[in-house]
Amino acid sequence: MKRIIIFCLFLVGCVDRKDFVEERISYKIDSVAYHPVGFPSVANLDPRWIAYTEFGQFTYHHPVEVGDSVEVIIMTPKRDTMVFDPILEHSKIKEDDTLR
């Protein structure tokens, strides 16, 4: 899940935002797990709240409660609806003889 989010952030950073359709969806937090300092590892130096939703889990460094909402932004690329037809493309190449 984290890989998908990182990949989407990478795409957003590399491509013009006009090439994407932005969709905002809000999910309600179903349950919350609290991890104090030093749990589950001694390397954990700050408290964490893990919120579980239908979409997945999110980690926060500030308190969240059941019933709060999480807004997820989904960026989908705009797609050209034209279908590639190799026969038509090949005939255009034959007609345009400037490629020789």
pLDDT digits (tens, 9 = 90+) for 6-57: 555 565 566 566 778 889 999 999 999 999 998 888 888 899 999 999 999 9
What pTM was computed for the model? 0.59
The predicted pLDDT at position 38 comes to: 87
The predicted pLDDT at position 2 comes to: 57
Residue 74 banded pLDDT, cuts 50, 70, 90: confident
DSSP the chain: -HHHHHHHHHHHHHS-GGGEEEEEEEEE--EEEEE-TTSS-TT--S-EEEEE-SS-EEEESS---TT-EEEEEEEEE----PPP-HHHHHHHHHH-GGG-
Whether 5 has a pLDDT exceeding 70, the answer reads: no
> Which residue bears the tokens 């026969």?
87
